Amino acid sequence: MKVLFVCGGNAARSQMAEAYFNMLAGGSHYATSAGTRVREETEKKRESPPEYTIRCMVEKGIDIEGSFRKRLTLDMVVNADRVVVMDTRSLPDYLTGSGKVEIWDIPDTKYRDYQFYCGVRDRIELMVKGLVAGI
């Protein structure tokens, strides 16, 4: 199974979920992530997630420093078996009309402190564990 995690900036929530899923699935399933509001220049520069995202994942033994932010495309949705959306603002029509979509209510970390990032990380970890267990 291929899972696509989607949030706004592909800077924290979806990056965390992708990393947890790939670790917990043990290679039998695969996840990727993308953002609905990632700018073309951000993607071209292969911009990394924010330091807080990287740091709070390292606390759990997961290194995502080499990852980069990606823009959501129709091809990503078509190629995924399941799409988990964590930010319902500014969703493209092709995503809202897809039967593959599952909505998770995960708060945005933008402009929040480190402890907030860690709380979001822990919530995502629990939700991803449930997702993997249900496959």
Per-residue model confidence (pLDDT) at position 116: 97
pLDDT at residue 79 in the model: 96
Interhelix angle 114-133/13-25, nearest 10 degrees: 40
Range of the domain at 61: 2-133
For the chain, the domain total comes to 1
H-helix segments, the chain = 13-25, 40-44, 51-58, 74-79, 93-96, 114-133
**pLDDT reported for residue 11:** 93
Residues (pLDDT < 70) of the chain are none
pLDDT value for 67? 92
What's the CATH number where 55 sits?
3.40.50.2300
- pLDDT at residue number 45: 82
pLDDT for 99 equals: 87
